Amino acid sequence: MNVNDNVNLKPFHTFGIDMPCDTLIEATTIEDIAQAFQSMEWIRKPKLLLGKGSNVLFTEPYQGVVIVNHLQGKTLTEKEGHYHLNISGGEDWPSLVDWTLEQGIGGLENLALIPGCAGSAPIQNIGAYGVEFKDVCEYVDYLDLADFKVKRLSAAECCFSYRDSIFKQALYNKVVITAVGLVLSKEWCPNLSYGPLAAHKDLLNTPKSVSDLVCEIRRSKLPDPAVMGNAGSFFKNPIISHEHYQQLKIAHPEMSGYETEVGVKIAAGWLIDRCGLKGHQVGGAQVHPQQALVLVNTGTASAKDVLDLAWFIKQSVKTKYGVELEHEVRFFTATEESKLDVILQESER
């Protein structure tokens, strides 16, 4: 366990904004994590578990303990018809996808190049190109912060839904994910339901070919955080009622949507683009000129620049389309996670 005080979090989150925290702990074992929560030195301080920092924005100096999950380890077992993987929470997700492909295992290729670590994947129920984490999940192991025992939930018990899970609801701030269990069929069947993949379906006859195309598409659309700070898709794709969708479709025939169990999912990036906001800038924060769903740090952005830009986008879309955008990026204040509107309301007091 590596412990340091007054650490700049810039290298630990992909937005790359200067922001200090009181204490940073780099944990390599489950015991390290348990000690960080149980030690009398830090027991009364706010705590935040961080993976790769690819989906967070620190809005002000964090007055607590940031615990970086460095748990490592991968095991593979085979049973009739399926591969079963146990992946430690700190493993890098893109590297994991590459590793499975090197082993000749398909099933994760649609999820290639999604930034973050394995332990973060079930929290957001990450997804791309027609596949979500829930489709490959067998179980999730977690450290219970009430009794500090490691427990397991089946995929069904995780209550997965669009960018949501039990870890953002009933178990929020009550557990630390230590490992995930994945189950992948030996009879590979590609999921080419999304447009860019469907258009090349005749050429996508191996998991590697699907992964290569997914990576090519993602790299063409999404800026590399190592070059230009960002947290990937900033807003969730909103799900609206069928009635609202039909009204918008009449006014905007070119709009497309995808049926879900609870309504119609529409593209947040399309809404932002049609508001003419590509390239729109507030201070050092900018809507990416090629991908409206991504807000980037041009090099000098402050957290306030990002917040103000996000609010302007949110209000612009609501005014034009009557659609309420919800940010996918998680915001952390000095002591806790918060929401955009709450942060801005408090700043005006």
Alpha carbon distances (Å) from 76 to 84, 88, 206: 6, 12, 21
pLDDT tens digit at each of 349 positions of the chain: 899 999 999 999 999 999 999 999 999 999 999 999 999 999 999 999 999 999 999 999 999 999 999 999 999 999 999 999 999 999 999 999 999 999 999 999 999 999 999 999 999 999 999 999 999 999 999 999 999 999 999 999 999 998 899 999 999 999 999 999 999 999 999 999 887 898 888 889 999 999 999 999 988 888 889 899 999 999 999 999 999 999 999 999 999 998 888 899 999 999 999 999 999 999 999 999 999 999 999 999 999 999 999 999 999 999 999 999 999 999 999 999 999 999 988 877 5
Question: Is position 91 annotated as part of the catalytic site?
Answer: no
Alpha carbon distances (Å) from 199 to 106, 112, 191, 289: 20, 19, 12, 25
The amino acid that residue 275 corresponds to is C
Catalytically annotated residue among 163, 256, 326, 330: 163
Catalytically annotated residue among 60, 138, 328, 337: 328
Distance CA 29, CA 23 (A): 18
11: left (phi over 0), alpha (psi -120 to 50) or beta: alpha
Question: Is position 233 annotated as part of the catalytic site?
Answer: yes
Structural domains in the chain, CATH included, are 2-69 (3.30.43.10), 74-219 (3.30.465.10), 223-347 (3.90.78.10)
Catalytically annotated residue among 54, 120, 165, 233: 233
pTM above 0.95, yes or no: no
CA 66 to chain centre: 18
Around 253, how many Cα atoms within 13 Å sit in the side-chain half-sphere? 0
107: left (phi over 0), alpha (psi -120 to 50) or beta: left
> What does R_g of the chain's alpha carbons equal in angstroms?
20
Distance CA 211, CA 215 (A): 6
**Contact 278/180 with Cβ under 8 angstroms?**
no
